[in-house]
Amino acid sequence: PARHRYELAGGWRRLTGTCGLPNGRGSVDFIIRADGREVFRSGKLEDGRTKTFAVELIGVQTLELITDEAGDGNGSDWGLWLGAELTR
């Protein structure tokens, strides 16, 4: 599992990108929280699967990107946040 926290200070509009497990045999669940509120959840993604996201962030102070093991252990769970882009 991994958790990345960013202080945005309300200065950003949107976060877009893709998340997934392009290589491996595990499964991963990706979660985005804005000020502690869940605004995106990928659901269980397995090998070769990706999912795009677009999250509104107007006024958000704290952003968290969370990668979790999807309930079946963390073996081969090399989940990636791909092309994540913040825009003002």
pLDDT per position in the chain (88 positions), as tens? Answer: 899 999 999 999 999 999 998 776 788 999 999 999 999 999 999 888 899 999 999 999 999 999 988 777 666 667 899 999 999 9
Residue 51 has which token pair?
A: 């999912």
In angstroms, rounded to a whole number, what is the distance separating the alpha carbons of residues 30 and 2?
A: 10
Distance of alpha carbon 56 from alpha carbon 54, whole angstroms: 7
Type of residue numbered 30: F
Q: Closest by alpha carbon to 83, among 56, 42, 53? A: 53
Threshold 0.75, pTM exceeds: yes
CB-count burial class (<10 Å; 0-12, 13-18, 19+) for 34: buried
